[in-house]
Structure 1
Amino acid sequence: MSTPRLTDVVTIGESMLSLQPMNEGPIAHAPLFNRSIAGAESNIAIGLTRLGYRVRWISRLGQDPFGDVIAATIAGEGVDVSMLQRDSKYPTALYFKEFKGYGDPNVFYYRSGSAMSQLSPEHVCDEWFEGAKHLHVTGITPALGPQTTDAIRTAMQRARALGLTVSFDPNLRRKLWGEEVARKTLLSLVPLCDLFLPGIEEAEFLLGHQSHEEYGKTFLSMGPSTVFLKLGEHGALGFSGDLTVRAQPYDVKRIVDTVGAGDAFATGILSEWLKSGSFDDEGSMTNALARGNLMGALATQFKGDWEGLPRKDELERLLSGKGEITR
């Protein structure tokens, strides 16, 4: 492996080759597909890189053409892939997305037995975190294989021991594991993060029905210093100590694709977190929520999980209310 570069964020997770029909309708009737890549952690890696941050993406891919496409795409966005591992025994995962013209897209995973599903605690090493400030992980990786939960737990513990802050998005994927195992596992990881980023449906899944304020208070009591609760079309809430900040959503006239909106929200939040490593005043939380909500809204305007993520100058212009110069 090459010597790691100084970096702002390390993120660990699986990326898949993504295939979606060129036209709306059932996959069974689709003769042509658009090819891209998909993965919550690589979405965030690309998003933060476009905003000017240095990101190291840790993953495992098959030694196959699908892995070649993913590695080249992510590296082409400027993300550090020097710690990427290629496996000749296990394949790269696949992901199909089906649009029917209403509601959220249907998603079909082919991740069982993938290279990333073989991730184990033995793979985690201090070199992953060298020169880094922050680690971001999601609840997807623990669902992939027999040892992936222990690997992510080890990574979170090791990162904190080395002085990094840690963010955790539960990113619940019911298609990947049973509900009781998912609930127990995700709750066990909350105390290991500084920044927790659940959606309202995930909060209810983890804790049962409570008020928004009770969710924030309960999650804070588990260990994180800050919690951001995503409310979808109703905006978001931030909780830190005794502070609660509410942000209204950005109004969008049409929604093209909701997949990736949560990752875009997290990208916006992290872009503000990286300035100081904490949210201990209303101003910083308000700025973070504005960035998160705007990026989440932008993500719904494109087919694709990451393609529409903005560059730094684009985001700043939109936040300031200035229009884009196109001619």
Structure 2
Amino acid sequence: MDVVTFGETMVLFNPDSNGPLRYAHRFTKSIGGAESNVAIALTRLGHEVGWFSRVGNDEFGKYIKSVIRGEGVDVSRVVEDEERNTGLIFKERFMHTDPNIYYYRKNSATSFLNVDDLDYDYIKQSKILHITGITLALSKLAREAVYKAIEIAKKEKVLISFDPNMRFKLWSKEEAKPILLDIAKKVDIILPGISEAEMLLGINNPKEISNRFLDMGCNTVAIKLGKEGCYVSDKNSGEFCDGYVIDKFEDTVGAGDGFAAGFLSGILKGLSLKESAQMANAVGAMATLVRGDMEGFPTTSQVMEFMGKEKYVDR
């Protein structure tokens, strides 16, 4: 297994029309979840990936498992909760701006994810464990599970990748900051957005941010800079990598997860730091071209064509 990740995936209802949600009457059903997004994106890039969670033993939980399994991700460790429901998300769309997000996830099945849901051997046999700050924010039980997963990965010398993925609808800055900083000291790869890094460290210079995380103990830092691309560094070097210009995007949700998947794919394939950053920027950019959280993630050949490294043959 190349990567194992875990966290909450919800059923996503995306309105077929723009404007206030009160006037939306028809919706397209899909799924949304940062960790499953990364898992699906990595699978499309040719990697063997496992995702686990706790979902309700209801039709929505079965739908989530079906979709993710259908993308080639292993879901054999997903727990079906007999007592609690699967979480839901509704989007509210306006023209070419980030959608508003409404969560219905309080007391969801995944908020009761706990250390007993972890499979030691499942984590042990992976090359990378990918975690996010969202799971840390769900509940004290889920937070304990993240810490336990990190403990297992460290003991078994599994690389740990961490995307802070701040969600202020789940917890406050005051609650999040010390926990996210503590996790940052325990991981090998950190993938913050520039605004998240500024919130955590109180500085906004990518080079300074990178040095601070490296001093904490991270081995690799990739700072997302939006349309400007990213700044990547390790113990030996650091550099900016230009992003891709998208004149008209459909949906920015999932772009950060695509970035994470592209970067981890580069690491797994033995690419250089710069090449991994280029891959990350490309996958993140392509995610914005399609409506939906995970629908726009490309295959390897598609991303190579997008980057101009392969020629597209249309007929």
Instruction: Tell me the matched-pair count.
Output: 315
Aligned equivalents of 2:310, 2:301: Cα separation in 1: 11
Match of 1:216 in 2: 210
Tell me which amino acid in the other structure corresponds to 2:248. Answer: R
Q: What's the TM-score, normalizing by structure 1?
A: 0.93
Q: Indicate if the aligned counterparts of 1:272 and 1:288 stay in contact, CA closer than 8 A.
A: yes
Q: Which residue of 2 aligns with 1:84?
A: 78
Q: 2:154 is matched with which residue?
A: 160
Check if 1:175 corresponds to 2:163. Answer: no
Q: What is the correspondence of 1:1-327 to structure 2 with a 5 Å cutoff?
A: 7-276=1-270, 284-327=272-315
Q: In percent, how many aligned pairs have the same letter?
A: 42
Flag structure 1 segments of 5+ consecutive residues without an equivalent: 1-6, 277-282
Q: C-alpha distance in 1, partners of 2:237/2:141?
A: 37
Say which SS state the counterpart of residue 314 (structure 1) adopts.
helix
- Residue 100 of structure 2 aligns with an amino acid whose one-letter code is N
For 2:144 and 2:177, how far apart are their aligned partners in 1?
A: 15
Q: Secondary structure at the match of 2:269?
A: helix
Given residue 243 of structure 1, which amino acid in structure 2 is its aligned partner?
S
Separation in structure 2 between the aligned mates of residue 73 and residue 205 of structure 1, nearest angstrom: 35
SS of corresponding position for 2:199: helix
CA distance in 1, matches of 2:194, 2:142: 25
After the TM superposition, which of the residue ranges 121-130 and 89-98 deviates more from structure 2?
121-130
1:237–1:245 Cα contact (<8 Å) kept: yes
Tell me if structure 2 keeps the 8 A contact 1:20–1:34.
Answer: yes
Report deviation, 1:163. Answer: 1.8
Letter matched to residue 29 of structure 1 = Y
C-alpha distance in 1 between matches for 2:124 and 2:190: 23
**Distance in 2 between the 1:232 and 1:288 partners?**
16
For residues 14-54 of structure 1, the C-alpha deviation after alignment (integer angstroms, 9 at most, x for no partner) is 10000011011111101100000000010011111111100
Deviations 1:172-215 (A, max 9, x none): 00111121111111111011210000000000110113422110
Structure 2: give runs of 5+ residues left out of the alignment. none
Does the aligned pair in 1 maintain the 2:39–2:49 contact within 8 Å?
yes
Looking at structure 2, the residues matched to 197 and 79 of structure 1 have their Cα atoms a distance apart, in angstroms, of: 22
Three-state SS of the structure 1 residue aligned to 2:295 is coil
Q: Structure 1: how far apart are the matches of 2:46 and 2:131?
A: 20
- Supply the distance in 2 between the matched residues of 1:20 and 1:235 (Cα, whole angstroms): 28
For 1:320 and 1:255, the matched residues in 2 are separated by: 20
1:3 corresponds in structure 2 to none
SS in 2 for 1:140: helix
- 8 A contact 2:8–2:35 mirrored in 1: yes
CA RMSD of superposed structures (Å): 1.3
Contact 1:149 1:185 in 2 (8 A): no
**Structure 1 stretches (4+) deviating beyond 3 angstroms?**
320-323
SS in 1 for 2:185: helix
Q: Please say if residues 16 and 95 of structure 1, whose CA atoms lie closer than 8 Å, have aligned partners that are also in contact.
A: yes
CA distance in 2, matches of 1:257, 1:69: 22
The one-letter amino acid paired with 1:57 is W
Answer whether contact 1:16 1:37 (CA < 8 A) is retained: yes
Distance in structure 2 (CA, Å) of the matches to 1:129 and 1:257? 32
